[in-house]
Amino acid sequence: MTDIQFRDDVTVELVKASATDSDVATAARVSTIGGSHDRVVDLERDEGLINFLTRDRHGSPFEHTSLTFYIEAPIFVAREHFRHRSGWSYNEESGRYKQLQPVFYVPGMERPLLQVGRPGAYEFKHGSDAHFARMASNMITAYREAYDAYQDMLAGGIAKEVARMVLPVGIFTSYYATCNARSLMHFLGLRTKSEHATFPSFPQQEIEMVASKMEDHFAELMPITHEAYNRNGRVAP
Amino acid sequence: MTDIQFRDDVTVELVKASATDSDVATAARVSTIGGSHDRVVDLERDEGLINFLTRDRHGSPFEHTSLTFYIEAPIFVAREHFRHRSGWSYNEESGRYKQLQPVFYVPGMERPLLQVGRPGAYEFKHGSDAHFARMASNMITAYREAYDAYQDMLAGGIAKEVARMVLPVGIFTSYYATCNARSLMHFLGLRTKSEHATFPSFPQQEIEMVASKMEDHFAELMPITHEAYNRNGRVAP
Amino acid sequence: MTDIQFRDDVTVELVKASATDSDVATAARVSTIGGSHDRVVDLERDEGLINFLTRDRHGSPFEHTSLTFYIEAPIFVAREHFRHRSGWSYNEESGRYKQLQPVFYVPGMERPLLQVGRPGAYEFKHGSDAHFARMASNMITAYREAYDAYQDMLAGGIAKEVARMVLPVGIFTSYYATCNARSLMHFLGLRTKSEHATFPSFPQQEIEMVASKMEDHFAELMPITHEAYNRNGRVAP
Amino acid sequence: MTDIQFRDDVTVELVKASATDSDVATAARVSTIGGSHDRVVDLERDEGLINFLTRDRHGSPFEHTSLTFYIEAPIFVAREHFRHRSGWSYNEESGRYKQLQPVFYVPGMERPLLQVGRPGAYEFKHGSDAHFARMASNMITAYREAYDAYQDMLAGGIAKEVARMVLPVGIFTSYYATCNARSLMHFLGLRTKSEHATFPSFPQQEIEMVASKMEDHFAELMPITHEAYNRNGRVAP
């Protein structure tokens, strides 16, 4: 019997970054000082400038940065992620070229399972133990059966790109995602909930798990920009 | 028992278009004649101009066009389609907001099922009746079981966005896709195979089914551009 | 002596559009109703939906629209316009391929000429008649001398792409610009000032003249979307 | 009298880069090997992979790189550069916020000044000394007069954003440009001429001067990718 793995978390690793607060300030000073300015880091002056840029939505200086992440998440999360086009690049594991591994997402016990309210104003509430059991047993069974069918087709010589059609959107995929600080802030504004947000967002919890881990790296790499982002309502400049 | 539908085709409807050969020629003449040119359609002169633009890769005039398609295709096809970012807009049926219908893709008998060769140089060959039977029975069973699990979770009050995790990438989704003639030609260059192509492409057959139907509409709306595209190796200008 | 023309206005013509409120609503309903929905126009229901989409920043449905404008404006305005990349296409009169016409921008008497305050918080005030005269006489002379030099070089056989280097950024150019309702709203948010705006903007008056004429066409084509845009602080969804 | 500077060259500095051949190969291996692959650099295997990606137009792996350039060039060059939208970010010196310096472009003696042939098939030829003299004296005079008018308006209190309207497109500007290896290769394909090119290009010499310096940095940072680019006809994958 195939060794199937169930996960209730996601993986987000920072592969590499060329992204500092100073990059933003230096690029912005091309506008006001021109090429003659030195590129010395002066954190105090940078802070005021970055806050001004964020507040008045001068977004382009934030684009001279680059962050590359390695992500493991279920396909339904990758699908939401890949909707972000502007300033994003992706490379994903291919079900045409390789056999997908039997790793599946099953929500953890703290994940609210019940949806109340109406479209556009949904809220999520925790279910009972019975709700959790019904969800988990259905998922685990469906995942196993789908993966068995996948393996049986592969064993029978069916092409990977055909056999994979039975695999559920809850199976894990892996991908590289490269963005800049501006496109990342736009993503975070839509894919996280925060008390600092001027505009409400309603992300599915699983993509918020990815976004939140990306935000941790962002806050560490660019603390001044991250702070300005929060102070200005988490609206991407 | 749920009434499940199996399809081996895709749907592509042209919802609307603002895309003619004359749009391309008129936009291009802004460069060479400026604003003083009239916008009279002169197909003979347009043909030479469009062929020149295509050959010498002056791509921007082709962008002043817009085509909106309504598409029904399996999720694994939509996933490939949505990788095209530049000059493409999408709106897709949401598994968070509505219950997905039990419509699933099963390859038809003419679909090659066997993959031979190595990564980067795959070829596809037809299988035996036994191959087809093994594929079809596995798929149909897996689809049914997945949809049953989905329905059981919904019946138990589990949120749609959670229950859908078990649904396979072979389930149909529907979406609007809007592009311009340039982004469409780029897409066709990668997602179709053609004897006219300067560069080889290796699309999965199912997205080629979508691309091919889009190309039919394109050829009808913009026959001169389509002809120039073929004549110049199906490389998007 | 060359017949030079001075203008204090800009031209914005709507060349063509495939852009209605109903396009937005129909695309949005793919998400919540899927492919089975009819595409009947129901303005009352559309209005609520469009307002909801704008408020909660569901931007993609607004992209299934296309507006093509023909614009005559000075080069310094075109330069600001062309900074807008996402969802914008351009074709501009080329100083390499044609001789540029002697049409130049001179601000009208109602144009504030004095800049007070500091970078990031400029205000503009009206000058005296002497200010206007100094500006106008300097401009007219400089424009004439530049165009004379241009013509002398052309007469001497110098290539157009070389001779044009002396032409000022105040000379008129003409271009086609195609956008969708979403990219247009983003542009308007940055390039107009309005009492409805949640965020302040500081456009140069001349690009605001272009933006304002584009907004008139937009408001006429898509009145419900335009109204929702104003009601929600002129922040592009 | 103002101290005016004339230049016949451009400046291109590499500000920073996160761009190696190994970045491309590592991103590509996500597709075929998935997340489980190590990221060890193996130049020999990378070379084959990168050549394959370039030949078969798998472009996305090349996007997980970032190069930031500081450029000084005339406005007419910046105008051509900024037409490249996809995968490019810019920040430019602003004539609204700062006084522009009196640095102007005058073609050097080796620059062909005569344009022969017809639109779409121009060729450039060297002129006589008289051609050069006529060009240079017209330019130098026109530049001086324009800058004098600019300074007179500024001295009279006219706003910078108004006074700059008389400045010619031959004046130098400075800007930051950030791109990735894919968008850079697309730019180079259109803005350089090369014996390796499958498709002909007709760049103006001055933007080719910028492109050529950018290519030098690119070739040094990513020698395997650069080699594959040349070997495959300088068509961006």
Give the mean model confidence (pLDDT) for residues A184-193: 97
pLDDT of residue B160: 96
User: Is the sign of the CA dihedral B55, D60, B81, D231 positive or negative?
Assistant: positive
Give the mean model confidence (pLDDT) for residues A45-61: 93
pLDDT interval class at D38 (50, 70, 90): low
pLDDT of residue D40: 64
Residue C37 confidence (pLDDT) above 80: no
CB proximity list for D205: less than 8 A, separation 6 or greater: D107, D111, D112, D124
- For residue A34, the one-letter residue type is G
pLDDT of residue D1: 59
Nearest Cα residue in chain A from B92: A83
When mean pLDDT is compared over A44-48, C42-46, C210-214, D126-130, the highest value belongs to C210-214
pLDDT of residue A93: 95
pLDDT interval class at A107 (50, 70, 90): very high
| Chains within contact range of chain A (3+ C-beta pairs < 8 Å) | B, C, D
Catalytic residue among A85, A191, A231, A234: A191
| Chains within contact range of chain B (3+ C-beta pairs < 8 Å) | A, C, D
Instruction: Report the residue from C28, C35, C180 with minimal CB separation from B70.
Output: C35
Cβ of residue D79 closer than 8 Å to a chain B Cβ: no
Q: Measured between CA atoms, how close is B10 to chain A, in angstroms?
A: 15
pLDDT of residue C122: 75
Angle (CA) B132 B134 B135, round 5°:
65
pLDDT of residue D228: 97
Mean pLDDT (chain A, rounded): 94
Cβ of residue D159 closer than 8 Å to a chain C Cβ: yes
pLDDT of residue B116: 85
pLDDT of residue D31: 84
Please name every residue paired with C90 in a beta bridge, in sequence order, or none if there are none: C177
Q: Sort out which chain C residues have CB atoms less than 8 A from B64's CB and list them.
A: 68, 89, 91, 176, 178
CA pair distance B164, A77, nearest whole angstrom: 12
Catalytic residue numbers of D, as ranges: 191
Residue among D76, D71, D101, D81 nearest D170 (CA): D76
The residue with tokens 């603390």 is A223
pLDDT interval class at A179 (50, 70, 90): very high
Q: What is the pLDDT of residues C172-212, one digit of tens each?
A: 999 999 999 999 999 999 999 999 999 889 999 999 999 99
Tell me the DSSP string of chain C: ----EEESS-EEEEEEEE--HHHHHHHHHHHHTGGG------HHHHHHHHHHHHHTT--GGGGS-EEEEEEEEEHHHHHHHTT--TTEEEEE--TTTSPPP-EEE---TTS--EEES-TTS-EEE---HHHHHHHHHHHHHHHHHHHHHHHHHHHTT--HHHHGGG-BTTBEEEEEEEE-HHHHHHHHHHH---TT-SS-----HHHHHHHHHHHHHHHHH-HHHHHHHHHTTT---
pLDDT of residue A122: 75
Cβ of residue D178 closer than 8 Å to a chain A Cβ: yes
Q: Sort out which chain A residues have CB atoms less than 8 A from C56's CB and list them.
A: 120, 199-200, 202
pLDDT of residue B31: 84
Q: What is the pLDDT of residues B221-235, one digit of tens each?
A: 999 999 999 999 999
Residue D119 confidence (pLDDT) above 70: no
Q: Measured between CA atoms, how close is A42 to chain B, in angstroms?
A: 37
Give the rounded percent of residues in chain B with a pLDDT score beyond 90: 85
Classified as helix, coil or strand, D105 is: strand
Q: How far is CA B218 from CA A206, B173, C66, D237, in A?
A: 39, 23, 17, 24
pLDDT of residue A108: 96
Residue B213 confidence (pLDDT) above 90: yes
Residue D39 confidence (pLDDT) above 70: no
Q: What is the pLDDT of residues C208-236, one digit of tens each?
A: 999 999 999 999 999 999 999 999 999 99
Residue B187 confidence (pLDDT) above 90: yes
pLDDT of residue C67: 98
Contact A57 C202 (CB under 8 A): no
Residue B114 confidence (pLDDT) above 70: yes
Residue A27 confidence (pLDDT) above 80: yes
Residue D186 confidence (pLDDT) above 80: yes
Mean pLDDT (chain B, rounded): 94
Q: Sort out which chain A residues have CB atoms less than 8 A from D101's CB and list them.
A: 34, 36
Instruction: Report the residue from D112, D145, D159 with minimal CB separation from C114.
Output: D159
Contact A164 B169 (CB under 8 A): yes
Residue A115 confidence (pLDDT) above 90: no
Q: What is the pLDDT of residues B149-178, one digit of tens each?
A: 999 999 999 999 999 999 999 999 999 999
Instruction: Report the residue from A83, A142, A162 with minimal CB separation from B135.
Output: A162
pLDDT of residue C208: 98
Q: What is the pLDDT of residues B25-81, one digit of tens each?
A: 999 998 888 776 666 667 788 999 999 999 999 999 999 999 999 999 999 999 999
Instruction: Report the residue from D85, D90, D168 with minimal CB separation from C166.
Output: D168
- For residue C48, the one-letter residue type is G
Cβ of residue A137 closer than 8 Å to a chain D Cβ: no
pLDDT interval class at B119 (50, 70, 90): low
